[in-house]
Amino acid sequence: MAAGPYDITFHTNGTVGIAEGPARVVNLATVVKRKAGEMARVRRRFSLDWAIGFVVLLAQWPPHLLGGESTLNGGSNQRYQDGWRMAGANPERTSWVPSGPENQTEVPGHLKLEWYRPFDPFIWQKVQIIAADGLLYVATTRGLYAFDAATGDERWVYPTALPLGHSPTVVDSVAHVGCFDRRVHAVDAKTGRALWLSEPAGAGFNTNPVVTDGKLYAGNRDGAFYCLDAKTGKILWQFETELRQPILFSPAYKDGVLYFAANDMHAYTVDAKTGKQVWKSEKLPGLGFHSYWPTLYQDPVIFVGCHGYRGGGEPSTLGGLLCLDDKDIYGSNEKQKGYAGALATDKDAFPWPSATETPTLDLSRKSLEGNGPVTEYFEAKPWRRTYFMLRRDTGKEVTYDFDGDGKPECAPMLRHGTHSGNRFPPIVGGDGLLYQMAGGVKASPWTSRGGILAWKMDTPLIGTLVHSAHDEPHALAAGGNQIYYYHAEAEMDRLLALRAAKFTKDRPVSEKKYDGVFNIGDGATVPLTVSRNFMFLVPELAAHLRANALEKAEEACRHYNEEVLPYWFVAKAEQGDGENTFSTLFDYHALFQAKAMILKEPYQDLVKHLDVPAFYRGDLYYIDNLCACLEAAR
C-alpha cells in the first residue's frame, strides 16, 4: 500500500510477552496475546478472554518530526521517555514514546514469540503492562507482579487483600498503584518492598495516578480527586465534585493543571498546587467516563466517553449506538455501501494522497452513494457524540462550521468499539497528527467498518489507514514511527491467510517413538488424515479457502474420495486408520461440509452422499450435512 512518500505496510504478530529486538521492554496496550496454534498465552479471565493478535502498522513519519522533545508527545517530561511508565505512556496521555538507540520502541517485521508466562490472577481488561528499567509490572486482583522483561522470570510479587484498581505508575524506582482497599500503595519497584500506604479515601482507587513534582494525583470512586505526598502518602488536598459521582477516568497533567472527568458527565480541571477548580465543562452526553483518560493535544484536551444506548434485549435499540449510526449514515443494512464521506479532492490537504485502499475522506460532504455527511449527523443529533474536544483554557467545546450554515459542528468521530463501555482514546503520532479508532470508514452488510484514522484537526479530513468491523475490542499505542494496534478481526484475517498458505492434502508424517509401553506414531498412519483440513469449517474459513486455495481443496477432496477413504461419507465406516476399525466421526462431516461450502457442489451431488445418522438421536453432524443439502437446493 504505497502512498507517496508515506509507505504503509502491515505485519501481524501473535506474540506472548516481548518481541525480539534490542529494547525488550516494548509494552503496547492492554491485550490478550497468544502465539497462533500453541497453548502459549497470558491468561486473562474476563469476557474478552480470546486470542487477539497485534497488527503492527508502520507509517514512515518524516525523520525531522521524530527528533527533539516534542511537547505533543509528552516530550516535555524526560522521565517518561525511556519506557512505558504509566497508562497512556506519560502525563499528557499521548500513548506515544520516542525511539532511539538506548530505547528502541520500533520493532518492525513479523514479531516472534520470545517468552510467555501462564498467568493465574485475573487482569482487568483496561490494565496496561507497565515497562520501566528492564522490568514489566502487571496489576492483578491479587496484587502487583514484576517480571524480568528479557526472560519473563518473576522478580517479585506484592500481594494485596483486595484487587488493584488500575495500572501502576513507576517513577524514580517507585511503583504507585491504587487499590480497592481505599488506599494508594507505594512499592519499591526493584524489590517489591512496601514503602508506604496512603491515608484511606472514601472508596477504592480505580484510576492510574499521575506522579510529578513530588506529588501523586488520582481520582476515586467516592467522587473526590486526591493529591498525595509522593514520599509519604499523606493526603495534601482533595477536590470534591458536586454530585460526588465516581471518578473512573485517570487524570492527564500539563503545565500545573490536572484534567479528568467524573460520572456526573462533566469534565474538570484543577490547579495541581492548590486543588482549586479551574473550570468545569458543560454536561456532556453519554453514560460516563470509564477505564481510560483524557489526551492533551496542542490546545484542546480530548475526552472520550460511553454512549447511553442499550444494545440487545428488550427494550432496546437493536445493536445500540453502532447500529443507529449505521442507519443514519448509510441507510438500511441491506443497502449499505460506500464510504461515510466524499473522497477528498485536494491531495495536498493531507500527508498522503487518496487511494482505493487508504482513502482520504471529507466527512463534511456526502459520498457518491449519498452517505453522510458525518458532520451534519452530529449537528442534527449532538447527543450521540462520544468524542469531545474541549479548550484547555476554558473547557468550552471546540466546534466548527464546515458547511457555513451558522450551526456548530464537532469532531467528526463516529463511535467505534464494543457495544458498551468507553471508546478507546486517541494517540498523538510523531507526525503531529491524531490517530484514533473511529467508525464510519466504509459500509458493509450488517455492520459498517471503522478503523485507524488520522485526523487533520480543524478540518473535516480524515486519512484511513486500516479498516475492520467496528464492534470489536481494540487498542492503540505508538513508539517512534510505528503504531501498534490490536483488533480481533485482524487476527482472524492472519489465521485465515495462514490456513490457505499452509494447506496441503498430504498427511503429516510423524517419527516412531517408544514411550516404554507403546509406539507413538508409526511414520505413516495418522488419524484424522481426511478431516484435518476441514474440521470445524466455519463460513469465513470456507469462503477464504474457496477464494485463495480452491484448487488445493478440490485436489484434496478428490484424493481423499478416490485414493484414501472411498467410504468417507459412511458414518462409522469400517475403514479405520492403523489398529482401529471405525473411521472417526469427523471424516464424514468434514469432507461433506468441504464439498458443500468450499467446492459449492450442487444438491444432486451432495444428497447422494447423505448417509443415515450415526446415532438414533442427536447426531448433529448428520443434521449439519442435511442442512447443507437443503441450502444447496434453494
pLDDT 10s digits, 170-203: 999 999 999 999 999 999 999 999 999 999 999 9
Name the 3-class secondary structure at 621.
Answer: helix
Q: By C-alpha distance, which of 301, 222, 315 is closest to 267?
A: 301
Task: Band the pLDDT of 475: cuts 50, 70, 90.
Answer: confident
Strand order of the sheet with strand 169-171? 169-171, 174-178, 184-188, 194-197
Distance CA 294, CA 92 (A): 8
Query: 34 falls in which pLDDT band (50, 70, 90)?
Result: very low
How deeply is 81 buried, as exposed, middle or buried, from its count of CB atoms within 10 A (0-12, 13-18, 19+)?
buried
Tell me the pLDDT tens digit for each residue of 265-295. 999 999 999 999 999 999 999 999 999 999 9
Cis-peptide, bond into residue 373, ω within 30° of zero: yes
Could you identify the residue written with the cell 503545565?
A: 255
d(CA 567, CA 513): 30
All cell numbers assigned to 99 = 525511539
All residues at 6 or more sequence positions from 576 whose CB lies less than 8 Å from its CB, including other chains:
582, 583, 584
Q: What is the DSSP string of 279-325?
A: EEPPPPSSS---SS--EE-SSEEEEE-------SSSSS-TTHHHHHH
* Whether 567 contacts 553, CB under 8 Å: no
Q: Which of the pair, 565 or 609, is modelled with greater confidence? A: 609
Q: What is the pLDDT of residues 395-416, one digit of tens each?
A: 999 999 998 999 999 999 988 8
pLDDT digits (tens, 9 = 90+) for 515-536: 554 455 444 445 677 888 898 8
The alpha carbon dihedral of 73, 70, 53, 140 has a sign of: negative
- Cell 452526553 locates to 285
Burial 554-575 (b: 16+ CB within 10 A, else e): bebbeebbeebbeebbbbbbeb
What is the mean pLDDT of the segment spanning 384-400? 95
Banded pLDDT at 32 (limits 50, 70, 90): very low
CA distance 453 to 430: 15
Average pLDDT, the chain: 80
Residue 115 CB contacts under 8 Å (≥ 6 apart), including other chains? 16, 17, 18, 151, 152
Report H helices in 532-574.
539-548, 550-559
Q: Can you tell me the distance from the alpha carbon of 485 to that of 52, in angstroms, rounded to the nearest whole number? A: 11
- What is the model's pTM? 0.73
Start-to-end CA distance of the chain, whole Å, equals 40
Share of the chain above pLDDT 70, in %: 78
The pLDDT of 87-106, averaged and rounded, is 88
CB within 8 Å of 320: residues ≥ 6 apart:
307, 309, 310, 311, 312, 419, 420
**Confidence grade of residue 6 (pLDDT, cut at 50, 70, 90):** very low
Spatial separation of the C-alpha atoms in residues 436 and 123, rounded to whole Å: 24
pLDDT at 60: 34
Cα distance between residue 626 and residue 147, in whole Å: 53
**Residue for cell digits 469476557?**
47
The pLDDT value given to residue 30 = 26
Is residue 31 over pLDDT 60? no
Write down the residue that cell numbers 517479585 correspond to: 156
Q: For residue 84, what is the DSSP state? A: B
| pLDDT higher than 70, residue 466 | yes
Distance CA 112, CA 105 (A): 16
Provide the grid cell at 235.
Answer: 493526603
